[in-house]
Amino acid sequence: MNHAATHLEDMKTTEAKTVKKRRESGVKVLFRNPLAILSFLYLTGTGLMAVFAPWVAPYDPNYMDIDARFTAPGLQHWLGTDHLGRDVLSRMIHGARTTMGVSVAVVILSAFVGTSLGLISGFFRRADEIIMRVTDLLMAFPPLVGALAVMAFLGPGVENIVLALFLVMVPRVARITRGETLVLREMTFIKAAQMMKAGTGRIIFRHILPNAMSPLVVYFTLLFAGTIMAEAGLSFLGIGSPPEVPSWGIVLSEGRYYMRNAWWLTVMPGLAIFIAVLSCNLLGDGIRDVGDPRQYGRARK
């Protein structure tokens, strides 16, 4: 009895050391990709700036100074002013609050609901047919067209944007999770767990979900980038955030009429959207490398 307990303790110690080595190797792989680190820092900084927007922004985003209309970028207004004399930098900072907030909410909701549906669909054959037919119906429309249809029905509003983009994105998360679950369900270690009478919940949450997380996390970064573009597109078309709530898409839309005389009104929000989307893609590449075992041997060299 004591020998069995000692053997079990040794196995736990060995497993703990293996997990620690994997984490250390993953950190090394991540730090070998400076673009991923810079992308993470940029997104983190933008998120913090959005959270503390009322204290970071130099002006009220809706304050109008008619005498300062179309002021070029300078010391007083770092990104200039718009056609109503509003400070573009302040509107960009508060706009990040809307754009990033909507994207975070959509990704979290889609990840929770979509992952749950994908696990159920991939593991339980009877539920698979029902869930996949519903996702097929939702995926029959292109993402932006589906979001436009929902927003046309619900009307402008931040909460409505979150709901519209959630309905568009969740079936795609469910599809990817289902595919990973179908592959993992046939793996030897899952069959062994079933032979040992492991519970369904333990198999799903202890064995399948952790092994499916690596590709899912990468997809979530891409989903975040897609949501930023979708929210900006809806706001640009005038059916996203209401005019009194700044967002990057609204700032870009308002500046498109003055592109020749005030280039900064379109360049600045467009550049912010471009860098945010690019950062998400680069961060996703870095996370993908961390989940690739072939990278660990290179990290130790």
Task: Give the CATH number for residue 143.
Answer: 1.10.3720.10
> Which residues are paired to 87 by β-bridges?
81
User: How confident is the model over 119-134, as pLDDT tens digits?
Assistant: 999 888 888 888 888 8
User: How confident is the model over 71-120, as pLDDT tens digits?
Assistant: 889 888 899 899 888 999 999 999 999 999 999 999 999 999 999 999 99
Could you tell me if 99 and 269 are in contact, meaning their C-beta atoms sit under 8 angstroms apart? Answer: no
Could you tell me if 237 and 164 are in contact, meaning their C-beta atoms sit under 8 angstroms apart? Answer: no
Q: CA-based Rg of the chain, rounded to a whole angstrom?
A: 24
The span from the CA of 227 to the CA of 1, in Å, is: 57
pTM (two decimals):
0.83
Q: What is the DSSP letter of 48?
A: H
Residue 192's domain comprises: 94-293
- The 3-state DSSP class for residue 81 equals strand
Assess if residue 5 is contained within a domain: no
**What pLDDT is stored for residue 292 in this prediction?**
54
Q: Which long-range contacts (CB under 8 A, 24 or more apart) does 110-114 make?
A: 110/166, 110/169, 110/170, 110/172, 110/173, 110/223, 111/173, 111/216, 111/220, 113/166, 113/170, 113/173, 113/174, 114/169, 114/170, 114/171, 114/172, 114/173, 114/174, 114/177
The span from the CA of 115 to the CA of 210, in Å, is: 12
Assess if residue 218 is contained within a domain: yes
Give me the number of domains the chain comprises: 1
Assess if residue 276 is contained within a domain: yes
Assess if residue 54 is contained within a domain: no
Could you tell me if 181 and 119 are in contact, meaning their C-beta atoms sit under 8 angstroms apart? Answer: yes
Assess if residue 232 is contained within a domain: yes
Q: Quick one: which of 267, 243, 247 has its CA closest to 255?
A: 267
For the chain, first and last CA: distance in Å?
43
Could you tell me if 269 and 283 are in contact, meaning their C-beta atoms sit under 8 angstroms apart? Answer: no
145, with CB counted inside 10 A (0-12, 13-18, 19+), is: exposed
User: How confident is the model over 197-207, as pLDDT tens digits?
Assistant: 777 788 888 88
Assess if residue 39 is contained within a domain: no
Assess if residue 184 is contained within a domain: yes
Assess if residue 298 is contained within a domain: no
Could you tell me the CA-to-CA distances from 96 to 44, 265, 272, 273 in Å, in that order?
12, 15, 9, 10
> Which residues are paired to 265 by β-bridges?
none
Question: Where residue 171 falls among pLDDT bands split at 50, 70, 90?
Answer: very high
User: How confident is the model over 55-70, as pLDDT tens digits?
Assistant: 999 999 988 888 888 8
